[in-house]
Structure 1
């Protein structure tokens, strides 16, 4: 049929009264009833009555479109009712493609229809987004009516219909939608932006004005991106929401997985986002659930590293990068170094990235608040590893503040920020702050529908340390069971095994604790001694206390021998070693270094406790009690009885009992923030503890550290020549040193010296 024949076939009163010439020119005349539509379409016997009804709805009553499709199907020998959308689109001739041009009201309506056509589902959120895109397109003034007026016009022309679905507002007839999606460009006199550009601007505006508690429209945005292939929108969504987007819109997983490789090759933000989508998709398959909070809590996004992006930040300083890209590349590279235990390199790259952000040109936008928060989170983690706890707490507090202000109803980065802030408090000794952080993290996780935290293993380690800080062994036992099941956390290092070993000591299993540390692949005393991080000073402190509790003098000596005097924790290990051998002056000197340092009250309380212990052993009871009161001071600050628990049982029992009336016990109990932990209960728990320092200091012989090392060395099957090589001297020199050692001990041979060592344990 020809177009003129189609025009004559329709009832003039049926079509002309309800049709607009400009729309008729684009789509052909419209039949507003099925009867006139059936009369106009040259269908022969190819279409049943039910299929005709469906075709009428799909074409919006536009006769020319329907007739073209029917004839194309007839020529192809297929039924119009059985054709899939791609083949239908191919059968609609190019001549049917609408042209959006001009400054008329109808041109503006067609532009609006183009926007509606790209939406997979037109919900109320989609309507708002389409209207916003229409405004962002800056449609010509003479064509401009309000979007509501133009929507009414489209409804009247059958180009937009009222949806019968409960969650949809409108639908675009499928054949009309196919044709409108062909419109890539519009006349410059119609609008300043084409539909794709208009959607991009509208989405940017939406993210910019979105309330902190509002996720409306995000699901529609993600679906729209897949349809329009406007991948830049996905980049903006990630920059604003990060992993929260997987909760905002479950279809985001598929959307990010569909980003083409050529787009990823030049976009680090989308590369990261797609890697995160792969990770959470793997979790979905593993758990067999689509529940967003469950998947998000179980997915380890923090272990994502992207080798293809590594080094890009420094490789080409002239490489043009946006602030968002600099933030992402800095975060990823620092994370890679941290996971490889290259903390110094991580901190260096963080400074490089921040300097590049500072050097952005005038007027250049900075990174989004979300990407800035993630950069701060990575920085805080690295400061934690470096033991720079006060700096870490300040940096991580910024993360928490951002989350509370801008994303209070989203789990990321609020939950991780709170847990990491608590971890910094554990290293430094802010016990009360740790309790508050963990309580807030748990409460918020429950509010988000999460049974566990994203950093559950880290959280459990912190909570177990807090249980041990107040000697609640039953609670520690309960947490220990959960710790075994929690997924590994890459940046914790030896912390889980150290905390576990301390629990064993308090439970009367000091030998088991020492074996745990000796066999742990994460502790490894010799590599640990070389770590240039003050974070590990606290770990070394607990590790050395465990060795003393198990009577492992030689292991303590080996740990001391492998530590450099510049190594964090060196002074506390030397002080504990001095206590074992009854060396007052070396202990006083070593503890002075700790007390004068800036490693926090947790370590200082242990140093002061070592002083109280040796004073009590020496019989200076008044001085020991006075020093013990200072221990209580530090313990109330750090909200922990760790230092008191490390005292030998004789000293602990005496000093706890003699100081029972001191008001600092009440202050210590209050620091735990619970009426259940009273001063009397704390004293009872301390008195019930088993021996944690069973070695009686040997005050008769004051051996130097070198002499102690030599004494331990000969307590082995090694020959004199082998030992000499280990000490880096010739055999003759070693024999001279052995002779001097024998004289000092009052023995005459190697065997007698070894026997002496065994008697002195």
Structure 2
């Protein structure tokens, strides 16, 4: 298999095309797939496009060079190539490397990131355990293997491991004849840094990538969309004056590029920071409907987290809690969205339990650690406690970096005022400059109810009598009367009709499923039940 000689690859493919034998064309294209892909992309794709489907089915590697593959993979025909074990035993080490690479990319195309990770690990194991001469050549494909493994890890949300792969790809790319190698690795590293909130590192990587030659045809879309997504995330987090220009450079919501979840994240975050949750919700749903999203991917984490944030901002807490409870595999972005939802709904024990759990996670990114500090401060203020002076100092130090302006735009005005109260002189001036032009919402203190009281309250509109409520919950009428007495006292009313009106105004009416979700989320680390909403 020819993995590095683009001149030989071109000559062999041109001879095969001249012969007119489609079987020969397919075999030659497979044998030279990587140099053709990197250096003669337009010839490769135009050749593969003309081959009959039945022939391509016999040579699944050719799907890698078919321009319809990414589109079909996310819509009607998932591309998930498998190989018979007997056939695998007849393949050379180079052929197995390339086929594993194509499997990893193909499953990623199809939205099955969990399976793509399996092939990424398999390719990693082959690199470590199986010595192959072609990988040890400076003009070999090893840089591309590490680049695609890193891209798969990034698609799975594992940005720290992805950065290690991109670093290796970049170092190998410096030695490669492939002129795109270093630029591709740099721009993907920039995106990983931007996702983590390491904005200075992301900016530096983008600036260095721009010093390299423009990408070739096979990589121009990947390079352009990656650099645009990284730049957009940086601009959104800093809320810069050119943020709208950066977002205008993003691909459409239905892009087939790996970067579509990051583009969605930038769009949704900006709209939510500008208090336009309805538009954010529309953007999220359009992107969600346009792609196959499976659990275990950064896409599923982005969609769940931004949906919860948008619904929370719209006042639809019930649906937001349903999404929180239905997410089979919850990523850290979703967990922080659940904390925000709990804070908005005055379910402070849920928020506190999640903040404590995440505080012990050593893999948190800089952005997530900043969120943890802000959310803990929000919790202190919401519970009526005095904001700790050291917490105010931490927030000041984060604010003056300019990297958390978006986060600061999403916290309540009361928290900003409490931080300012602890600052003076130069520190206060710096903090005011960091929060200048940001619009904050006013936190409303809602009645704090237990899960049992929430159930009884939500039954009032549908159950006509106390006896009916008791029957529905399989408890005694006296228990319901006691809960109603406590409920009316907390709501400041004395009748069922008044309670329903107050509950509607404060968005306290919930469904049974939502209460079950809150119950499940409010279980502490030792499986001890926490009384949700009780100080």
TM-score grouping bracket, smaller chain normalisation: 0.7 to 0.9
Measure, in 2, the Cα distance between the counterparts of 1:302 and 1:438. Answer: 30
State whether residues 143 and 172 of structure 2, in contact with CA within 8 Å, keep that contact through their aligned partners in structure 1: yes
**Are the counterparts in 2 of residues 385 and 533 from structure 1 also a CA contact under 8 Å?**
yes
Task: State yes or no: 1:384 paired with 2:126.
Answer: no
2:474 corresponds in structure 1 to 733
Q: Does 1:589 align with 2:330?
A: no
In structure 1, the partner of 2:38 is 244
**Does the 8 Å CA contact 2:295/2:329 hold for their aligned counterparts?**
no
Checking the alignment, whether the CA contact within 8 Å between 1:468 and 1:476 is kept in structure 2 is yes
1:756 and 2:502 are equivalent in the alignment: yes
Contact 1:306 1:332 in 2 (8 A): no
Could you say if the C-alpha distance between residues 482 and 656 of structure 1 is closer, same or farther in structure 2, counting changes exceeding 3 Å? farther
The residue number in structure 2 matching 1:429 is: 197
- Aligned counterparts, 1:492-511, within 5 A: 492=259, 494-511=261-278
Match for residue 351 of structure 1? 121
**TM-score, length-scaled by structure 1:** 0.53
Counterpart of 2:242 in 1: which secondary structure? helix
Which residue of the other structure, out of 431, 437, 446, is the alignment partner of 1:688?
437
Q: 1:338 to 1:601 in 2, by over 3 A?
A: same
What's the offset of the Cα at 1:522?
0.9
The total of aligned residue pairs comes to 490
Equivalences for residues 3-22 of structure 1 within 5 A: none
Per-residue deviation, residues 656-708 of structure 1 (Å, max 9, x unmatched): 57547577x9xxxxxxxxxxxxx95x8446242223x444133xx43245755
TM-superposed CA distance for 1:256, in Å, is: 6.3
**Structure-2 residue corresponding to 1:177:** none
1:742 to 468, 484, 488: 484
Task: Report if aligned partners of 2:72, 2:78 keep a CA contact under 8 Å in 1.
Answer: no
1:423–1:462 Cα contact (<8 Å) kept: yes
1:611 aligns with 2:376: yes
Partner of 1:556: 320
8 Å contact from structure 1 (residues 327, 372) kept in 2: no
> Cα distance 1:627–1:583, how it changes in 2: closer, same or farther (>3 A)?
farther
1:405 counterpart SS class: coil
> Whole-Å Cα distance in 1 between the matches of residues 286 and 53 of structure 2?
42
Contact preservation (8 Å) 1:635, 1:643: no
Task: Look up the match of 2:237.
Answer: 469
TM-superposed deviation, 1:470? 1.0
Residue 388 and residue 505 in structure 1: after superposition, are their counterparts in 2 closer, same or farther (change >3 A)?
Answer: closer
Which residue is 1:311 aligned to?
82
Separation in structure 1 between the aligned mates of residue 348 and residue 435 of structure 2, nearest angstrom? 25
C-alpha contact (below 8 Å) 1:415/1:444 kept by paired residues: yes
Please give the per-residue CA displacement for 1:621-640, whole angstroms capped at 9, x wherever unaligned: 451x4213324555678933
Q: Is structure 2 residue 288 aligned with structure 1 residue 522?
A: yes
- 1:482 aligned onto 2:249: yes
TM-score of the aligned structures, taking structure 2 as reference length: 0.72
Q: How far has the Cα of 1:352 moved from its partner?
A: 3.5
Pick one of 413, 431, 438 that aligns with 2:206. Answer: 438
> Is contact 1:537–1:569 with CA below 8 Å preserved after alignment?
yes
Partner Cα distance (2:48, 2:303) in 1:
41
Please tell me whether the aligned partners of residues 300 and 454 of structure 1 are also in contact (alpha carbons under 8 angstroms).
no
Q: Aligned-pair distance for 1:757?
A: 1.8
Task: State the Cα RMSD in Å.
Answer: 4.8
Aligned to 1:196: none
Whether the 8 Å CA contact 1:330–1:375 is kept in 2: the answer is no
Q: Work out whether residues 399 and 434 of structure 2, in 8 Å CA contact, stay in contact via their aligned partners in 1.
A: no
Question: 1:559 aligns to what SS in structure 2?
Answer: helix
Contact kept in structure 2, 1:323 and 1:357, CA below 8 Å: no
**8 Å CA contact 2:304, 2:324 repeated in 1:** no
Aligned counterparts of 2:75 and 2:183: Cα–Cα separation in 1: 18
Secondary structure of the structure 1 residue equivalent to 2:448: coil
- For residues 386-407 of structure 1, give each alpha carbon's deviation from its aligned partner in whole angstroms, at most 9, with x where no partner exists: 3222111111222223323214
Of 652, 674, 678 in structure 1, the residue corresponding to residue 416 of structure 2 is 652
Partner residue, 2:96:
326
Q: Deviations over 1:467-491 (max 9, x none)?
A: 111111x422123333365871354
Whole-angstrom CA distance in 1 between matches of 2:80 and 2:279: 45
Identify the residue that residue 524 of structure 2 maps to in structure 1: none
Give the whole-Å Cα distance in 2 for the aligned partners of 1:610 and 1:378.
Answer: 36
Partners of 1:541 and 1:375 in 2: CA distance:
31
Partner of residue 188, structure 1: none
Equivalent runs, 1:19-418 vs 2, <5 Å: 223=14, 237-239=32-34, 241-246=35-40, 271-272=62-63, 276=65, 278-279=66-67, 310-312=81-83, 315-316=85-86, 319-355=89-125, 360=130, 366=135, 371-407=141-177, 409=179, 411=180, 413-418=181-186
Aligned to 1:641: 405
Provide the rounded CA distance (Å) in 1 between the counterparts of 2:327 and 2:79. Answer: 37
2:456, 2:227 → 1: CA distance? Answer: 43
Contact 1:429/1:601, CA 8 A, preserved across alignment? yes
1:420 aligns with 2:168: no
Q: For each residue in 1:228-273, what CA deviation from the matched residue of structure 2 results, as whole angstroms up to 9, or x when unmatched?
A: 898777556543x3522227xx65666667889999787665x25x
| In 2, Cα distance between equivalents of 1:453 and 1:550 | 36
Higher relative contact order (CA 8 A, sep 6+): 2
Match of 1:82 in 2: none
> Alpha-carbon deviation of 1:648?
0.6
Which stretches in structure 1 are left out of the alignment for 5+ residues?
A: 1-199, 209-214, 284-298, 666-678, 722-728
**Conservation of the 8 A alpha-carbon contact between 1:497 and 1:523:** no
Q: Report if the CA contact (8 A) 2:167-2:185 is conserved.
A: yes
CA distance in 1, matches of 2:484, 2:87: 64
Q: Which runs of 5+ in 2 are unaligned?
A: 465-469, 508-535
1:52-92 deviation line (CA, Å, top 9, x unaligned): xxxxxxxxxxxxxxxxxxxxxxxxxxxxxxxxxxxxxxxxx
Alpha-carbon offset, residue 556 of structure 1: 3.3
Q: 1:454 to 1:745 in 2, by over 3 A?
A: same
Q: For each residue in 1:483-515, what CA deviation from the matched residue of structure 2 results, as whole angstroms up to 9, or x when unmatched?
A: 365871354465434432322233343444355
Distance 1:614 1:495 in 2: 29
